[in-house]
Amino acid sequence: MKNAVKTNSRLNEWDEDNCVDIFRNTTRASHLLHQMASDVAASFGLHAAEMNVIDMLGKFGSIAMGELSRRSFISTSNTTSTVKKLEAANLVQRVRSNKSDREVLVSLTTKGKSLFRKCYPKILAEAHTHMAERLTRTERTKLAAILRKFMA
pLDDT of the residue at 9 = 80
Strand order, beta sheet including 63-64? 63-64, 104-108, 92-96
In a domain, 98, yes or no: yes
Identify which of 126, 83, 131 has the alpha carbon closest to the alpha carbon of residue 108: 83
Residue 74's pLDDT band (boundaries 50, 70, 90)? Answer: confident
Please, what is the average pLDDT of the chain? 92
The verdict on residue 1 lying in a domain is: no
Residue 102 belongs to domain spanning: 13-151
Please choose, from the candidates 108, 93, 109, the residue with its C-alpha nearest in 3D space to the C-alpha of residue 56: 108
Beta strands in the chain (DSSP E): 63-64, 92-96, 104-108
Q: Domain total for the chain?
A: 1
Does 21 score more than 90 pLDDT? Answer: yes
CATH number at residue 57: 1.10.10.10
How many residues make up the chain in this entry?
Answer: 152
CA 96/CA 81 separation, integer angstroms: 17
What's the pLDDT score for residue 102? Answer: 82
- pLDDT tens column, 36-68: 999 999 999 999 999 999 999 999 999 999 999
